[in-house]
Amino acid sequence: MSKLIILSTLLLFLTVYANGQDSFYKQLADSAYTLTHQSVIYDPAYRSITYPNGDVPADRGVCTDVVIRAYRKFKIDLQKEVHEDMSSNFSKYPENWGLKRPDKNIDHRRVPNLMTYFSRYGTVLSVNDEAANYQGGDVVCWDLGGGITHIGIVSNHKSKDGKRLQIIHNIGAGQVLEDCLFKFKIIGHYRYKK
């Protein structure tokens, strides 16, 4: 084989591979967007849920449930993934709640735990105020102050001024699309694909 054929084949493979990666995150953002069409009441109550693939009632949820439900549409069960990792690596996760062992009902529904999981198994991206660095399907975490953290998924929908992508999240008004990327202090920025 000539060097030109080998190079052409390699470039074709890399292009297809890169487009496949981009396609997943675009689809993840679109998946999250469909959640905005469902009526959900913000409800942080602790609940016993099935395992794996457990979920709180479909009409209830918090910010983490947006992320969990979007990934679940791709058969990625963050409840199972986080629980298994915490069971093997409990000391690597935050000690914010005084727990002595993992709890499959709630651990995946806590922002600091998702941040730890995405840091361990995803791609950690830069945190900055450059809108172009945040792409559809990215997971972003914020510090709301007072020890409260928040999480959402970057959508494929631009803000009204066209300067940034909007966020799909639940900060109290249900699962919504909102122009709030830089509204709070960003503390985490990730891409995750199993």
Q: How far apart are CA 145 and CA 156, in angstroms?
A: 27
The tens digit of pLDDT for each residue in 145-189 reads: 999 999 999 999 999 999 999 999 999 999 999 999 999 999 999
Q: Is 103 exposed, middle or buried (0-12, 13-18, 19+ CB in 10 A)?
A: middle
- Indicate whether this model's pTM tops 0.75: yes
The pLDDT of residue 29? 98
Domain residues for 94?
Answer: 3-191
Residue 11 has pLDDT above 90, yes or no: no
| CATH at residue 82 | 3.90.1720.10
Q: What is the DSSP-derived secondary structure letter of residue 121?
A: H
Kind and range of the H or E run holding 111: helix 111-121
Residue 86 has pLDDT above 80, yes or no: yes
Q: Are 152 and 118 in contact (CB under 8 A)?
A: no
The pLDDT of residue 129? 97
Number of structural domains, the chain? 1
The pLDDT of residue 13? 40
The pLDDT of residue 7? 38
